[in-house]
Amino acid sequence: MISRVPQCVLLLPNIGEALRSYAGQSFFFRVLRDYQRFGITDVTLLTTAGTSDFLPCLHEKLPLQGTLTTYTLPTFTVEALQQVAPLLSETFFLARGDRLCDGAVFPLLPLMTAHLETPRSVVDPNGTPALTLLSKQALKTMPASTSLMSLFHTHSEKITVDSPVLSPDTLPFSAYPLHRPAVFLDRDGVLNYDHGYIGTRERFEWITGTFSALRRIARSGHHIFIVTNQSGVARGYYSEDDVKSLMSWAIASIRSEGATIDDWRYCPFHPTAAIEHYRQDSEWRKPAPGMIQDLLMKWEVQPADCFLIGDQETDLQAAAAAGMPAYQVTSEKTLLDWTMELLP
């Protein structure tokens, strides 16, 4: 069974270490960004006395789209966690805010069933824990004096992944990229069949192999971005709210299949639009590179570390204008075919 777990409880035993900055971004920000990639929208920070004062000024700056709350515990024990249990989901992830999984770990998150009898931990080949999936029911049966740190090693089934778990001390010396590479994707004709001006779920049909392709990209550590022209808005076929609603559903579907979309952009404008408000020659409309450039800037990604996969010549032209290579989907070569070739 596939079920999404949207809540993560992050332990911050050493706030100073977690907030250490590399390349202008704190280690803790990197942790939050990676969890956000895979649909975790409810983050609870657990700190010890004297550390919570570091956090209030950071809340507005954290790269999180969702809910962020902070609680101060007297100790990091099961008993202390049980005290805040009413605020937790029935099933949640427990992780450390000063530990970072390689990107290849996170596609596991949506695939971990939310209905479990035994807690489940992800560890790297050295046995270093990344996170634990817990239920409130299991929490009730654990000895109150058990350290929360030990839950990563005890009381759980281990899932070993071929990826390192990094800390502020190991990050600068590892092969882990400070800024991930990225794959840019067109939508219609690449992820789903292009039936023309698609604005509803009823007309949205996934191309065979799309989820497998997206899982392959996610496991490679690449960001996944969608850039899509949506002139159907300009022509009056559907609204911008329809575009956003459809994409929210599509992204949720992708995450439920073990992959993710980190971010996306759309262009509703067209130079000959039927609706005057949308009648313009926008720099975001492919073949112009505006959507791609906006994502590059926001996510601090270098074009040389990226490529685009699209089905139209305008997709390839936009990628070239942004300074990255591009590959064209055809009836003979799908997104899955390209990912198997480019990301073996």
Catalytic residues: 186, 188
Report residue 93: phi and psi, to 5°. Answer: -90, 140
User: Is residue 288 a contact partner of residue 299, using CB atoms and an 8 Å limit?
Assistant: no
Q: How far apart are CA 133 and CA 213, in angstroms?
A: 26
Q: What is the 3-state secondary structure (H, E, C) of the chain?
A: CCCCCCEEEEEECCHHHHCCEECCEEHHHHHHHHHHHCCCCEEEEEEECCCHHHCHHHHHHCCCCCEEEEEEECCCEHHHHHHCHHHCCCEEEEEECCCEECCCCHHHHHHCCCCCCCCEEEECCCCCEEEEEEEHHHHHCCCCCCEHHHHHCCCCEEEECCCCEECCCCHHHCCCCCCCCEEEECCECCCECCCCCCCCHHHCCECCCHHHHHHHHHHCCCEEEEEEECHHHHCCCCCHHHHHHHHHHHHHHHHHCCCCCCEEEEECCECCCCCHHHECCCCCCCCCCHHHHHHHHHHCCCHHHEEEEECCHHHHHHHHHHCCCEEECCCCCCHHHHHHHHCC
Report residue 239: phi and psi, to 5°. Answer: -100, 170
Q: What are the structure tokens assigned to 273, written together?
A: 């639009």
Q: How many Cα atoms are found within 13 Å in the side-chain-facing hemisphere of 81?
A: 32
Q: How far apart are CA 132 and CA 159, in angstroms?
A: 10
User: Is residue 330 a contact partner of residue 311, using CB atoms and an 8 Å limit?
Assistant: yes
